[in-house]
Amino acid sequence: MPPASAAPRRTWWIGPGFVWVCILLSTVPLLWPAIPPLVDVPGHIGRYHVAIDLWRSADLQRHWDYHWAPIGNLGVDLLVIPLAKWVGVELATKLITVAIPPLFVAGLIRLSHAATGTLSPSAALAFPLAYGYPFQFGFVNFMLAAALALHALASWIRLADRPALRAMIFIPVSCLLWVAHSFGWGLFGLLAFTAEVMRLRSHGWLRAAARAALMCTPLALPLFPMLTGAAGPDHGVSYNWLMKIGWLASLLRERWQAYDAGCVTAIVFFFWVALRNRASFRFDPLLGALALVGFAAYLALPRLLLGGAYVDMRMLGIAVAIAILAVHPHPGASDKLAPRLALVATGFFLLRTATSTAAMLLYASTQQSALAAVAHIPRGAGVLVLVNEPCDKWHSDRLEHLDGIAIARRDAFVNGQWALPGQQLLRTRHPEAAPYLADPSQLVYPRPCEARTTDFAAAIRDFDRATFRYVWTMGFAARPRPARDVRLIWSNDRSALYRVEP
């Protein structure tokens, strides 16, 4: 016990008030925009609308098919669809999406307490990773599953001394995680196995690994639909080793390159200081091991796997967040170090929250300007969408999947929906529209870009006039007649709408 005259150590960063303020602050960037301005989210809204209203809309039935199946990519879908019946699909999507960052932050806090019994003063440095690049992409099913995986991992660690009860609980939990997103389930299984190995390591590493594998068998039930093909076909594996370096710089990629990269540099500097000053800092063994295994998975995983893209990139932010939680001031260090570290980390979190809010408002303004075209689209129309997509900018205007709102509001058919079996349940009814049938046929990159999908002139010349009676361009200058039978009927500074004439 410290002497009676000693001042109590200030630990405001572990109090419930601070924790709840951080959790609530993580919702702020998405509170104002009516539609979460994340890249894929408008496209998801279109799919949710088809799932909800297909049975009562003749227009949707002409264009789309939707059949439920057991796939590992349904987390937000299963939450939005019942909620949308009460508040509408756009508001339901916003409410669920806004809930993901605070769920992620709370999961980090619970994991830290389960592993160490406290919260590191540096923990707030990890909270902005709730808005990391996977979330900016709009990978909402994965981010929901990742947030739930953090909570599940915290409970897995806490129930280590009750293995029978834990096994009973985590059979359904693992299945729910897989349904939310298969990569979230895989992340949880990998980290749960690592936690067991660390707990049992006093028996020897090989014996600990064998016993940990046995303990994790209740988590393996989702392997059945994956191995039997019930979850859809495998779409191959693709590695891109150079991009793994790029993903490090893109850890907090949002809108302003120098600023975002500078924030990543600050996190790297924090780790460098902690590693260099072992007299002042220590790494928690369990959280450190979880972070190292997460980094190893990042290096080992491909870019494309099971039909999912950017698989390796999704794991990086979680590994970095757990590594930040692992850093603690050494008990022998100065009592002033922990409060100062907590103050700096909290300032970093507040700064990122403010700039994320500004970025979301700017993206939302651009999207709303482009969405003005939707009011001029007749209900049930087929619309060819062409989006001018840059290849050399840190950010785009996030118009890539805005055509999903035309589905939600006008029961339209558009060519920007995803159509990979095993990843989506939505199918088109217009095979004659190929190759302008599904994502990424709506994306038009400049000629120097390595990624090439659709050529604007070829698309305007060759698209199927029977399927598409309208053309919606975004990011291109409006033209009176881009083709002899295609006439401009509406435009603004962001998008233009054309009608196909006989």
pLDDT digits 0-9 by tens, 113-125 = 999 999 999 999 9
* Residue 322 and residue 401 in one domain: no
What share of the chain in percent tops pLDDT 90? 78
pLDDT for 298-344, tens place per residue? 998 887 776 677 888 899 999 999 999 999 998 877 778 889 999 99
Which CA distances in Å does 70 have to 184, 195, 318, 422? 16, 29, 26, 9
Contact in structure between 272 and 207 (CB atoms under 8 Å): no
Strand partners of residue 281: 329
Same-domain status, 333 and 420 = no
CA distance 38 to 462: 31
d(CA 121, CA 326): 10
The H-assigned helical ranges of 301-336 are 311-326
Structure tokens at 41: 């989210």
Quick one: which H or E segment has residue 327?
A: strand 327-329
Check whether 5 has a pLDDT greater than 90. Answer: no
My answer on whether 390 and 252 are in the same domain is no
Distance CA 131, CA 357 (A): 11
| 209 lies in some domain | yes
In the listed set 333, 360, 387, which residue is the last one of a domain according to the structure? Answer: 360
Quick one: 424 and 343 in the same domain?
A: no
Residue 97: inside a domain, yes or no? yes
Q: Cα(296)–Cα(300) distance, rounded to whole angstroms?
A: 6
Residues 395 and 335 in one domain: no
- Structure-model confidence comparison of residues 234 and 385, the more confident one: 385
Q: Total domain count for the chain?
A: 2
Say whether both 348 and 418 belong to one domain: no
CB atoms within 10 A of CB 229: 10
- Which domain-ending residue is among 360, 390, 405? 360
Domain annotation covers residue 261: yes
The answer to the question of residue 374 being in a domain is: no
Query: How far apart are the two ends of the chain, measured CA to CA in Å?
Result: 89
Q: How far is CA 220 from the centre of its chain?
A: 24
pLDDT of residue 473 exceeding 60: yes
pLDDT score of 30: 97
CA 338 to chain centre: 32
The boundaries of the domain holding residue 94 are 21-360
Based on the fold, state whether residues 234 and 334 are members of the same structural domain: yes
pLDDT band at 235 (very low <50, low <70, confident <90, very high): low
Residue 132 counted as domain residue = yes
Q: What is the spatial distance between Cα 252 and Cα 250, in angstroms, rounded to a whole number?
A: 5
Same domain, 343 and 444: no
Q: What residue has token string 């969408």?
A: 385
Q: Tell me which residue of 126, 92, 132 sits closest to 106, measured CA to CA.
A: 126
| Rounded Cα distance, 92 and 73, in Å | 18
Whether residues 353 and 392 fall in one domain: no
- Residue 8 maps to a domain: no
Please tell me the distance from the alpha carbon of residue 139 to that of residue 128, in angstroms, as a whole number. 16
- Provide the CB-side half-sphere exposure for 381 (13 A, CA): 23
Residue 143 near residue 328 (C-beta atoms within 8 A): no
Picking from 326, 360, 394, the residue at the C-terminal end of a domain is: 360
* Domain presence at residue 2: no
Write out the two tokens for 416: 């920007």
Contact status, residue 188 vs residue 153, Cβ threshold 8 Å: yes
- Whether residues 350 and 406 share a domain: the answer is no
Are 455 and 310 in a shared domain?
A: no
Task: Give 3-state DSSP helix, strand, coil % of the chain, rounded to 5.
Answer: 60, 10, 35
Residues 348 and 383 occupy one common structural domain: no
d(CA 143, CA 461): 40
Q: What is the pLDDT of residues 363-420, one digit of tens each?
A: 999 999 999 999 999 999 999 999 998 887 888 899 999 999 999 999 999 999 998 7
371: in domain: no
Q: Any bridge partners for residue 457, and if so which?
A: none
Band of pLDDT at residue 3, cut at 50, 70 and 90:
very low
Residue 302's pLDDT is what?
82
